[in-house]
Amino acid sequence: MTVSYTKDVVSNKGLGCFLKLLLRWRGSVYKLIWMDLLVYLTFYFALSFVYRFALNDYGKHLFEQVSLTCSRHAENIPLSFVLGFFVSLVVGRWWDQFRAIPWPDTLALFVSTSLAGNDRRGRMMRRTILRYINFSMSFTFSMISPIVKRRFPTLAHFEDAGFITGNERQIYSRMSERTPHTLYWMPMAWAGALVCRARKENRIKDDIAMKTIIDEITRLRSRCGSLLGYDAINIPLVYTQVVTWAVYAFFIMNLMGRQFLDPSKGYEKFPIDYYFPVFTTLQFCFYMGWLKVAESLINPFGDDDDDFEMNFLVDRNLQVI
């Protein structure tokens, strides 16, 4: 899903390295706003047709007065400030969510180097610890990402994929039935208990190594909790509504306010009849594109082009660990 274009802008030689990106469709602003723009222009030209061909002189005069009033008051909407601050907030939150995604590589390094033993029990301990951690992270992903949830709708699907055994699934199910709260962290507790057992069996040579592994498990649990926190606590709805209302109110008013009026009437700012609203269309693309960027980034765990590749992350962790 994530659209990468780093290789296309590796050099800034020429007349602009970003120009080669303008014709892309997937992940582009055109894909986000084309339907809104089509609807907007349809209403705009419908009003223009009514003004030019369907109204008498008195009706045209009223239309012109309404258009001038809308043009004057539309500028009172602080759209740039409200929308700019909102997009900045959303992009910052989007990047923080990416940084909160847990990666098991460091824990795998600690476990493989600190938990000794080439016998079958030693190998099974290492694999089981990382399998528990992987299950806990993947279960967390299924709670926040609909694409992962479709892949693992039940615990039985996790069992089929090799994250847990049948006995572990039954234990986890019984424990989950005792509380309304999610127990995403429980496999990590199992992993911690297995680390302590390895220390008692002297497979982990000292307490410092054991503490290092436990601290890393705790850090991964904290990141999973952060992802669930981002999923549960959103940007306040009232602010999202204010921004959406501001954008749509601005362009609804401009349906009338940006109509080209009869140049013979001598209205200020209307010396020429251009027929097609070129600059209004550009303004619509900029502001509506800005809003659509915020809409697509506010939940980066979905199906949008620039959302995070959560299924890829699940597959990658299974293969690496």
pLDDT at 14 over 70: no
| 281 and 229 belong to one structural domain | no
pLDDT for 110 equals 94
How confident is the model over 252-264, as a mean pLDDT? 86
pLDDT at 19 over 80: no
pLDDT for 11 equals 66
pLDDT for 57 equals 87
For the chain, what is the domain count?
A: 2
State both tokens at 159.
């069992």
How confident is the model over 34-53, as a mean pLDDT? 92
| 163 and 110 belong to one structural domain | yes
pTM: 0.86
pLDDT for 23 equals 76
pLDDT at 26 over 90: no
| 93 found inside a domain | no
| 108 and 179 belong to one structural domain | yes
pLDDT in tens, 140-154: 999 999 999 999 999
| 95 found inside a domain | no
pLDDT in tens, 207-229: 999 999 999 999 999 999 999 99
CA dihedral 296, 245, 255, 65 (to 10 degrees): -170
Highest mean pLDDT among 3-12, 145-154, 260-269: 145-154
| 248 and 214 belong to one structural domain | no
| 55 found inside a domain | yes
| 15 found inside a domain | no
pLDDT for 21 equals 73
| 34 and 122 belong to one structural domain | no
| 110 and 224 belong to one structural domain | yes
pLDDT for 196 equals 94
pLDDT for 220 equals 96
pLDDT for 154 equals 93
Pair 130, 111: CB distance under 8 Å:
yes
| 85 found inside a domain | no
| 245 found inside a domain | yes
Pair 86, 94: CB distance under 8 Å:
no
pLDDT for 16 equals 64
Q: Which domain holds residue 105?
A: 101-234+313-320
